[in-house]
Amino acid sequence: MIQMQQVTVGSMRDLSTVVVEEVSWTVAPGEYWVIAGLQGSGKSDFMMMTAGLMPPADGNYLLFGEPMPIFEEARLEARLRLGLVFETGQLFNHLTVWENIALPLRYHENLTKGAAIPEVQPLLECLELEAWSDSTPGAISRNWQKRVGLARALVLNPDVLLVDNPLIGLDLRHIGWWIDFLQQLSKGHKLLGGKPITLVVTTADLRPWAGQPHRFAALKNKRFSVVGGWAEIEAESGELVRELLMAHARQG
């Protein structure tokens, strides 16, 4: 699904500023990766590059075997197999919740509003967004804005889903919902026809994923390091892993 060889990541604000370097990383179909790093470690820049919103500053990155980033119309089909959920939602405030979710369908598949309803309605129901359907993003809390961003990323039924810092700023009930729902997506949710999704999620706190059978990596000092499974996390004595396991306690 994803293959990087000696990739260098620049900052979205200044591509000449290196935030992560020498990333060699492969993501196989069906894997669920959690990439952890403290604030300022470059998690969001890494995800924006992985999503193809900016090119690697150096190295080679293939998505489904296609060189990234993909802007050409002829290769767009491969790019649309990847969905991205922004940390801040990045919703359009002049559109309603329903219109934000339907936007990728109406833009990429040229659907009318009526034709998009059967695709959008199940997402509204499953993500508990029906009550906010006609509201604009500014009228709902951050807890719900993030779910709208997730619904928009899922509406095209992607094979790979990137989720940047999904738990930051959420209350405990919503944190539990995200952990459970992402796990269902990884295994194959009925919402998407039972198809397992390959997931890459970033976080500043490893504890919500404690004991889960995912692959873990860490970002620190411009380096991307694969840690392994949860057993390796528990056995790791490095300072970064200790900090990431204590992040929740400090924030609480």
pLDDT of 252 over the 90 cut: no
Q: What's the pLDDT tens digit per position in 164-190?
A: 999 998 999 999 999 999 999 999 999
Report the pLDDT value the prediction gives residue 243, as an integer from 0 to 100.
72
Whether residue 127 sits in one domain with residue 175 = no
Q: Which of 23, 20, 22, 2 is nearest to 11 (CA)?
A: 20
CATH number at residue 11: 3.40.50.300
Report the pLDDT value the prediction gives residue 238, as an integer from 0 to 100.
66
Write down the mean pLDDT value for the chain. Answer: 90
Whether residue 102 sits in one domain with residue 133 = yes
Average pLDDT over residues 217-246: 82
Residue 200: pLDDT band by 50, 70, 90 thresholds? Answer: very high
Residue 212: pLDDT band by 50, 70, 90 thresholds? Answer: confident
Among residues 129, 157, 185, the one where a domain terminates is 157
pLDDT of 236 over the 90 cut: no
What count of other Cβ atoms lies within 10 Å of the Cβ of residue 10? 22
Residue 223's φ and ψ, nearest 5 degrees, are -115, 140
Residue 106: pLDDT band by 50, 70, 90 thresholds? Answer: confident
Instruction: Show the domain range for 61.
Output: 2-81+159-251
Whether residue 59 sits in one domain with residue 148 = no
Instruction: Count how many domains the chain has.
Output: 2
Report the pLDDT value the prediction gives residue 231, as an integer from 0 to 100.
86
Whether residue 72 sits in one domain with residue 192 = yes
Report the pLDDT value the prediction gives residue 251, as an integer from 0 to 100.
43
Lowest mean pLDDT among 33-37, 69-73, 121-125: 69-73
Whether residue 240 sits in one domain with residue 170 = yes
**Residue 9 bridge partners (DSSP):** 20
Whether residue 119 sits in one domain with residue 58 = no
pLDDT of 73 over the 80 cut: no
Average pLDDT over residues 223-240: 82
Residue 249: pLDDT band by 50, 70, 90 thresholds? Answer: very low
Report the pLDDT value the prediction gives residue 77, as an integer from 0 to 100.
82
Whether residue 152 sits in one domain with residue 142 = yes
Residue 250: pLDDT band by 50, 70, 90 thresholds? Answer: very low
**Residue 201 bridge partners (DSSP):** 34, 163
What count of other Cβ atoms lies within 10 Å of the Cβ of residue 218? 23
- On whether residue 87 sits in a domain, the answer given is no
Whether residue 141 sits in one domain with residue 16 = no
Whether residue 106 sits in one domain with residue 34 = no
Among residues 157, 185, 210, the one where a domain terminates is 157
Report the pLDDT value the prediction gives residue 248, as an integer from 0 to 100.
45
pLDDT of 241 over the 80 cut: no
Which residue has 């403290």 as its token pair? 38
- In this structure, what is the dihedral angle of CA atoms 27, 198, 85, 98, given to the nearest 10 degrees? 160
What separation, in Å, do the N-terminal and C-terminal C-alpha atoms of the chain show? Answer: 37
Whether residue 205 sits in one domain with residue 131 = no
Whether residue 100 sits in one domain with residue 67 = no
CA distances from 67 to 27, 72, 86, 166 (A): 15, 11, 22, 27
